[in-house]
Every structure is written in structure tokens, then in C-alpha cells.
Chains A and B, each alone.
Chain A
């Protein structure tokens, strides 16, 4: 039997969809019994949401003032303390989980499995390497706890018809004061979140300027889509870094992905290959993005995109 602890990701009031996807991954481990832990200052709201995730046995809340912000240095000792009762501890491979989980593994003196794509046994998993150019099967030694991050784009939501019991837990640990939260700067946007959006419209370097990127925003708004970008567009200063998709940015799996003026470097493609339908609009018919696109249109984006926006608006 596998006793699995999933670390909930949240912003203090709402659960991040990555948590449900981690539960889906955990549920594919043979004999899984799954608990979800919510670290928060006041975790009632988030815990209530987590309790609805199908397949979860119970929700643990660890409430302390120090848990107001998700600081890895503060959370890791608490996760490590709780880990004693589990065979597996999973977190999402979002920036939250990538920051936290290796610190937990370090405290426990074990290596970590990063970015689980699939599970083939209690201690055997598949994960991508070399920007997704290869998938490797890895085996964790049978006598060690499995600390892992889950590649959320590889999993669906677990469903939300459950009503798991919520229990208060204590995770006895000395918490450091050497790391202090200052502020969070988010691009205030009414658009859907890139990670969870069903539709994503992304722009690349071919947009040519920050002003022209407005074309992407208009099309995204006509579709109710989130906005993404390529590294080239971010490096050129056209759009904020948190929109970057790819090996070193976000890995996403929307139903519909529209790539506009993005040539399709391998580092970008690895971030979108789990998308349902990929549409590519590019003036270069040789662009690598067309090799993986479901629907391709060769044309000048400055004509095509406004036309498409009008047609869908």
C-alpha cells in the first residue's frame, strides 16, 4: 500500500488546479491512500475546496502565522516532519512545487523525482529530460520515501464530488526567520490563468513590439483565452515573463493552443505538446511549429489575426 501526501498549492483563499492534478497522479500509484495537506495562516476556505477532490481520504490543515506565504524554507521542515507517516510526498511541478519539494528531499536526505509524466509502479515513474526530447523511466530505491513533483500538464483534474474529512494537524518543526516575504507583483489581469485555461493564444517575436502584442490580447479576449508567449517575445520585452511557455517557462495543456508568429523552437514545443489542438499562424511555411500543428495557416499575422478576431468576436 502507498500512503501519499499531496502538498496543496493555493494563494491563501483559492486552491490552485495543480493540486487536483497531483491527486490524479497519486491515484495512479498502486494501492494509493491519499491525504492532502494545506499549509496556511487560515486554511479553512482552501481545505473546504480540497475536500471535494475525488480520491482524497482526508485533508490536513497546518495553520500557523508563518504559513501565510508559501516560503520553501518555512514549509519544508513542516513537510519533512509530516513525511514520516507517508511512503510518497507529491507536489506540483509549478514554481511553488519546484521551489519547495527539493528542499524537502534535501532535509530528508533523498533524491527527488522531478516532473512525473506517468506512473508504472509504486517506485517507478516516467519523466522528461532534455527539454522533452527523451522520456526516461526512473526507479526510486524501494526502501526510501518517494519525494516527487508532478508534471501537471500530463494529468487531468481528479473530479470534485468528494467530501473528505478535514483535520487539523501539527507539524512540529523549528521555523527559520532568515527568509522574509516582501511582496508579490502580479500582472493584474482579468484573463484566465495560463495554467488552467482551456484556450491559450500565444505570440512570438514576429509581433515586433509591445504595442503590436495588443493583437494577441484582442484575439485572446474574443476567445476567452489566456495569453502566452515564446521566450523570444519575452526577451524582446514585448510581454511579461510569467507568460513564457516552454522548457524554462510554463508547461501547459489547454484544449486549444494558438501560436502566432512563433517559429517553434524545441524548447517552446516541449511546453505545449500536451495541448488538445494546436493551431499555428506563421508567415514562414518552413517554421518547425507546423510540424506539430493540427491546423496550420501560412500568412501575415498582421492581416490574419485581426480577421480571425473579427470572425470569432
Chain B
């Protein structure tokens, strides 16, 4: 195939424990470390491996977000993406509008495969890939843990609640990456230097001709209901006793 598109969302780093602002207006992201959404990193890694096997010519990394998302795209270029596109928008564009943006870029680039993360770890929505497949009228294989290509079809193993489901899908298609698809590579310093010379195109969301979807608005943010710390027991006999007291065994 010719081109694989990959989405790289800029999110609060996996290791940061975010706090809700005291006035309930949002979560406090000031000064916290930002990274590529971990599932998107896996998506990019898979695209790079497909290209390195000789099954694709070009990997294009796309981010939709503020100018700062260039950092995540540069990291993606250092990992090995050939070029990057930043669709400049305020942070937190809704999933349907994101899907429409991807569709507009697919039309422009004639992409054969789109690999996205199965969810972003900030809003945990898990929607964009499926919505893109819907508006594109193409197959989706979500929560992928294995992808093998055979000409114009892909065989994808999906992680589902009951185990694994295997699907055959015709290309072009959308695949969303689960944790076990691969282990992303580490970026080396020379690659970071090389990445600075790779093309990074910036497009304003408004210039893409994409209709913004009606938004689901967010009003009040609260910390989750806390569980009370319980009791500590000294040994198994005391544990069994405590379980019996609660009528659990």
C-alpha cells in the first residue's frame, strides 16, 4: 500500500495523577507533563513496522490540537514517521469533528490505512476511530492486538471481553490499537536531530472545510467518590473472620 495515516493526540502524561480544580471548572493541567497518548504511540509503531516490512511507502502522523502539539508530532517524526500534519485547533476537539478532520485528510492524501489509538487517556471516550470508519463507509477493526496484511485485505485480531475475535477487512480501513499490539521503540538522539528536518505542515481547522459537530458540553467536574480506607488484619485466620463477619464467605 502507499500511505498509512496515524493520529497522535497530545494528552496529560500517563504517570500524572490529575486533580480536579477546586472550583469544579475542569482538571488542573497547568504545568503538567504532556505526551503522546500511549495508544497512539502503539498505533504509530505498528504503522512504522508495516512500512519497514516493505508493505507501505509512507507514514503520516496527524495531530489535531494547539500549536504545542508540534512537540508530539516531532516525537512521532523522530520515531520514524515520514511527515506530519498539525490541524490547529483549541485543545479538546470533540471526537466527531476529529473524525471529520481525518476524513478530509484521507481524501486529500488517498490513505489506504488509518491506525489510531483505541482511546485517549484524557477523555477516555474511545470514539474517533469508529466514527471515522462510519463516515468513511469503510471497515473498522477496533482494539487490535495483531494485524497481518495480505494484499488488499487485513486480518486483525481484536481483544474483546470474551477473548480474541479475528476479522478480515478490506482496505482501506480503520484499525484502533490496543495495548498488546506492540511495544513502541525508544527514540534515539540522532533521530531527534533528523526529525527536525522532516516536513511538518500546519493547517488551521477552519481551512479544512470541515463542519464542526454539535458538541456535548462539559459543565461540572468533581473528584470521584472516595473509598474509605478499611482495616488491616494480621493473618489469614483474621482475614477469614472478617470475610465471615461481612457474610462474604
Q: CB within 8 Å of B: which residues of A?
A: 11, 71-73, 76, 94-96, 98-107, 109-115, 128-141, 144, 176, 178-187, 194-195, 199, 223, 231, 234-235, 240-242, 247-248, 250, 255-256, 266, 273, 276-279, 290-299, 304, 307-308, 311-312
Contact = CB atoms under 8 A, between A and B. Distances in A.
B166 interface: yes
Interface in B89-143: 94-96, 99, 118-119, 121-135, 137-143
The 3 closest A-B pairs by CB, nearest first: A106-B134, A106-B131, A294-B230
Interface in B24-57: 27, 39
A contact face: mostly helix, strand, loop, or mixed = mixed
Given A279-B239, A296-B230, 15 more contacts: A72-B130, A95-B158, A96-B161, A105-B127, A114-B123, A130-B124, A139-B216, A141-B214, A141-B215, A180-B168, A256-B243, A276-B248, A297-B234, A299-B235, A304-B236
B189 interface: no
Interface in B50-94: 94
A184 B165 CA distance: 4
B27 A98 contact: no
B231 A296 contact: yes
B203 interface: no
Given A76-B134, A109-B213, A311-B240, A247 B142 contact: no
A184 B163 contact: yes
Interface of B: 12, 17-20, 27, 39, 94-96, 99, 118-119, 121-135, 137-143, 145, 155, 158-170, 173, 178-180, 213-224, 227, 229-240, 242-243, 246, 248-249
A128 to B, nearest CB: 7
B139 to A, nearest CB: 4
19 contacts: A76-B134, A99-B160, A105-B96, A106-B132, A130-B18, A133-B20, A133-B223, A136-B218, A179-B140, A184-B164, A235-B179, A240-B163, A241-B145, A241-B180, A242-B159, A266-B17, A290-B232, A292-B227, A297-B236
Given A72-B130, A130-B122, A297 B232 contact: yes
Given A133-B223, A179-B139, A291 B229 contact: yes
Given A248-B179, A294-B231, A182 B155 contact: yes
Nearest to A18: B161
Contacts of A73: 133, 139-140
